[in-house]
Chain A
Amino acid sequence: MKKPIQKFTLKRKAERPSWYKLDLSAIVYPTLQRKDFSSVYRLSILLKEEIKPDILQTAIDRGLPRFPTYKVSIKRGLFWRYLEPNNTSGPFVQKDIRNFCMPMPFRSNHGYLIRFYYYQNRISMEAHHCLGDGSGGMCVMLTIVAEYLRLLGHTIQNEGMVLDIHQTPDKGELEDSYMRYANSKVKPPRPQEKAYRVRGTKEPFYTLNVIDGIMSVQEVMAVAKKHHATITEYLNAVLLYALLQKQEDDKVFTLRPVKLAMPINLRRFFPSISLRNFITMIYPSIDPRLGDYSFDEIIAQVHHYMRYYINDKFLRGDITTNAATQRHPIIRVIPLFIKDFTVRQFYTKVQDRNSSAGLTNMGALKLPESMRPFVERFDIYMGQPFSPRTNCAIISFEDTLTINFASSIVENDVERYFFRKLVQDGIHVKIESNRDNGLEVLL
C-alpha cells in the first residue's frame, strides 16, 4: 500500500513548483511598498445573512490551497523578488475594521499577502496586488464564498469564477500571461504627459475615506444609451467631468490635461485563464487647454478613445513595451536594490503624475445560478492611492451597480461633483460612507 502513496506525493510535488516568478505587473507593486503604503485592493461580497466566522475560516482553510499563487509569501532574491509557497497556519479571518486596505508589511500576518475580514453580512478579502489583479482575486473570493455556502448546507455548482476546490490547479492559472502575448514587432512609446493632480489635505496615518454610491444598472444604462455610450464610457466621462470642475475650482496656475488611469482586463482580448495580473493601463483624457468641453463632448471623446485603443493590436503593443524593460539583459543582472530605487523614482516622478485619478470597472459579475439568491451585492476598492488623491472602482451584480471611491485626503469635492452629476442626469443614488468627520464641528 505504501508505494502508490509515495508516488502520489512525488507527483504532486513535481506539479507544484517551490517558487514563482513575479509577473510583469507584479514586479512594480512591492517596490512601491512604504511604511505607510502597500498596493492592496479589497473585494467585498454582501450576503443576505450574517456571516459565521468559524465556518468562513473552515471555507478558507479548504479553499485557499486550491490557489497556490495566493497561498504564498514574498521573498527577496539578488536580482528579483519571488513568491514562495507559505505553509504556515492562516490566513485567519478577522473582524472588519474602519481603516481597511491598510499597509501590509511583508513579514506580518505570517507572511501572507492576503487578508480576510467579516462584518455583519459582509465578507471582505484584501490582497496585495503582486499576487494578482481584481479578476484573479475575485475568482479566489467567490470560490471560498461558494465553499462557505456549501458548508452552510446549500448546493452550489462550480461554474464560471467559482472553481472546483478539489481540482489540481491548471498550469495556465499560474502562468504569467504577459510573456505569452508580448510579441508585437514594435514597441510603442508610453504616454508621458503630466496630468492634473488633485491637491488635498492628507489625512493622518492611517485613514481611508470611503464613499459608496449604489444605484440601478438599468437606470445608468438608460442614461448612458441616451448619450450613445456604454456604462463604462458614461461613468468615465462623469469622472473626467468632475475632475475638470475640480481643476477649475482649484484655480490652478497652469491648466493640465485631466487623465484617468484605467486598467483593462486583457483576458477579454487574449485567451488566458491566469489568476495572476493580466491587465494594462489606458489613459482616457480631456485637455481643457484646448477649450471648454461640454459633457456630450467629453462622452464623445472617451467613446472614441476607447474604441480606438481597446483592441488586441494596441494592447499587444503596450504589453510588449512593458515586457521589453524586464527582458533587457542588462536590466536583468542589475541588483534588486538598484532596480527598486530606479523603479520607485520612475513611478513617483513619471507614472504617478501621468493620471489625475484611477478608475476601474469590473463590469457585471456573473455567478452560478444556485449562488445568486444568497448574494446581495459586491463592493470593490482600489485601496489607498499612492499619492493623495481619490480612486474609483465600479462593479455591478444583477441590477445593483456600486461605485466605490477610496481616498486618503480630507476633501471630497471629486466625489461630490461625480454623484451630483449622476443625480442631475436622473439616476437615483444611495450613499454609504465611513466618513463622519466634521459633524462635531458643525453642530
Chain B
Amino acid sequence: MSYCVHCGVELEENLKQCPLCNTPVYDPSKRPDLIKAAPFPSEKAPVEKVKRKDLAILLSVVLISTSATCTLLNILVFNQSLWSLFIIGVCACIWIFMIPVVIYSRLPIYVSVLLDGIALGSYLFLISLVTNQDRWFFELAIPIVVLFTIQMEVFTYFMRRFPVSFVTTALYTFIHIAVFCVGLEIFISIFLHGSIRLIWSTIVLTICMIIIISLITILSRQRLRDSIRKRLHF
C-alpha cells in the first residue's frame, strides 16, 4: 500500500507513479510476487473499420452492366463503329479511380496515383487504336500523361513529407501549374512544328513565378516569426 507523498492519496499497487502529479512511487519493500493484476488492461484496440463492401459491389455491378449493355447495343443495334469501346474504357477508368476509395483503402497513395496515370494512358491508347491514328498518342498524349503523373506523385510526396498549411499547398500547386504549362507547350510545339517555341506558357510562368516568390517570402517570414515567438514566449 503506497501513498503519494504530494497528493496524500492511496495508490493502487500497480501504479509506478502518481497519476495526479506524476511523482514516482518508491517502495523498496514491495514484493512483486504479491502484486495483483492491474485494474485496467494494457492492450489497446483500434477503432473498428467499417466495411464498404456493399458500395464496392454496387459500383462494380453498375460499371460492368453499363459496359455489357453498351457492347450488346453496339453489336446488335448501332453497329456502324466501335463506339462502345469508349464507354467500356471510361467505366474501367472510373473503377480504377475508385479503388482507393471503396475497394481497397489500404493501397499506398503512390501506387494508386500511378495506376490512375496508367488507366488514363491506356484509355487514350484505346482511342488511338479505334481511330487508327497513333502519332498524336505517342508524341502528345503519352508525354503529357507521363508528365502529369510524375507531377502528381511529386505533389503527393511533398504534401505527405512536409508540414501542410494553406500557404504550402498553394505554393506546391502554383509550382506544378507552372511546370505543367511549360511542359505542355513544349510537347505541343514539338508535335506541331518539330521545334521548341514557348509563347503563352511564358505568361503563365511569369504570373506563377510572382505568386511563388511571394508565397516563399510569406513562408520564410512565418518561420522568422515562429522563431521569435519561440525565443520570446512568456
Contacts and interface: CB of A to CB of B under 8 A. Distances in A.
Nearest to B24: A442
A95 B21 CA distance: 30
Contacts of A122: 39
B9 A429 contact: yes
A119 B38 CA distance: 10
28 contacts: A95-B41, A95-B43, A96-B41, A97-B41, A97-B45, A98-B43, A99-B44, A105-B50, A107-B51, A108-B50, A109-B48, A206-B47, A213-B9, A412-B20, A416-B7, A416-B20, A423-B7, A423-B9, A424-B8, A429-B10, A430-B10, A431-B11, A431-B19, A433-B19, A436-B15, A438-B22, A439-B22, A442-B22
B44 A108 contact: no
B47 to A, nearest CB: 5
A99 B15 CA distance: 17
Contacts, number: 97
A420 B20 contact: yes
A433 B41 contact: no
A102 B47 CA distance: 7
A107 B50 CA distance: 6
A443 interface: yes
B47 A210 contact: no
Contacts of B40: 96, 98, 119, 210, 432-434
Interface string A396-435: 0000000000000000100110011001100011111111
A196 B19 CA distance: 24
A65 B170 CA distance: 56
Given A97-B45, A429-B10, A430-B10, A439 B24 contact: yes
A409 to B, nearest CB: 13
A123 to B, nearest CB: 13
A341 to B, nearest CB: 22
Interface in B32-73: 37, 39-45, 47-51
A103 interface: yes
B-side interface mostly: loop
B12 A431 contact: yes
Contact of B45 (A99, A412, A416, A429): A99
A99 B44 CA distance: 6
A412 B19 contact: yes
A120 interface: yes
B1 to A, nearest CB: 9
Nearest to B7: A420
Name the residue among B10, B15, B39, B44 with the largest chain A CB count within 10 angstroms: B39
A431 B43 CA distance: 20
A-B pairs, top 6 by smallest CB distance, nearest first, are: A433-B19, A108-B48, A434-B40, A416-B20, A423-B8, A97-B45
B20 A419 contact: yes
Contact of A430 (B12, B22, B50, B51): B12
Interface of B: 4, 7-12, 15-22, 24, 37, 39-45, 47-51
Nearest to A437: B22
Contacts of A109: 48
Given A107-B51, A433-B12, A439-B24, 14 more contacts: A99-B45, A105-B50, A107-B50, A211-B19, A419-B20, A429-B9, A430-B9, A431-B4, A431-B12, A431-B20, A432-B12, A433-B15, A436-B17, A439-B22
A431 B22 contact: no
A428 B7 CA distance: 11
Given A416-B7, A416-B21, A439-B24, A431 B50 contact: no
Contacts of A420: 7-9, 20
A431 B45 contact: no
A421 B109 CA distance: 53
Given A415-B20, A438-B22, A431 B47 contact: no
B172 to A, nearest CB: 26
Interface in A103-158: 103, 105, 107-109, 119-120, 122
A423 B7 CA distance: 8
A439 B7 CA distance: 17
A406 to B, nearest CB: 12
A38 to B, nearest CB: 9
A120 B36 CA distance: 11
Contact of A442 (B11, B17, B48): B17
A440 B155 CA distance: 38
A439 B14 CA distance: 13
A431 B44 contact: no
A419 B7 contact: yes
Contacts of A108: 48-50
Interface in A184-212: 206, 210-212
A428 B10 contact: yes
A147 B18 CA distance: 38
Contact of B47 (A103, A430, A434): A103
Contacts of B9: 213, 419-420, 423, 429-431
Contacts of A211: 19-20
Contacts of B4: 431
Contacts of B37: 120
